[in-house]
Structure 1
């Protein structure tokens, strides 16, 4: 067989990985070679990594860092605005630097509208400047008169009830 034979080349590579000698006629493993010390660059690759490091690397590679930073507003809302405000105001959404907040009552909606500049400043301090520019405060939802056991198709709600 010649040196150009790819099968022979593959056999020699496999033998070298198994630690066998260069001679094709020697069966079994050959004399053991002295192990070389592991280089520091190679040791890094062989060391185990934590799952948080791997997830962080995936997030950076996919370009999700900014999106995840924006989502911190949902997870850290109670710590940023305080427990009392968080109890009466829940975040409905976050679009293009605008936070949509739903208040539990109209009184809390009014208070949140008055506190909006302070809340925006706190959010920007915690999440980074320019993350939030405005807070859109909405009061509680009014009850729907369109559904229910006594609703009538085509009716105009409670105005039809009282004649």
Structure 2
């Protein structure tokens, strides 16, 4: 399907839908769900209950952790394995590092 623009060009339906998704924030919500799903898969149920994905900025995923002991354990013993799992779960997303932050929720 095409929509005629004022200058005579035709716009693809996929372009129109892409603009609609962006303007409504739906793409960001979908991205967020994808990131949270990848973290849940990589972390597993035990870690998931005490962690929460905050954001991915410039290839670094920031994860909130309920306590300092777990934060230290994740950074020292699980980081490499988690990064490998996350990269596999999110092809096309550049993920260079994991940062853990102490938080309570």
From the two aligned structures, give the one with the greater strand fraction. 2
> Relative contact order (alpha carbons < 8 A, sep ≥ 6): 1 or 2 greater?
2
Using structure 2 for the length normalisation, give the TM-score.
0.63
Q: How many equivalent residue pairs?
A: 86
Largest Rg, 1 or 2? 1
Using structure 1 for the length normalisation, give the TM-score.
0.43
1:97–1:131 contact (8 Å) kept in structure 2: yes
CA distance in 1 between counterparts of 2:55 and 2:75 reads 17
CA distance in 1 between counterparts of 2:21 and 2:58 reads 18
1:82-123 deviations in whole A, cap 9, x for unaligned?
A: 111111111111112111111111111011102111111100
State the match for 2:6 in structure 1. Answer: none
Structure 2, unaligned stretches of length 5 or more? 2-12
2:38–2:90 contact (8 Å) kept in structure 1: no
Indicate the RMSD between aligned Cα atoms, in angstroms.
3.1
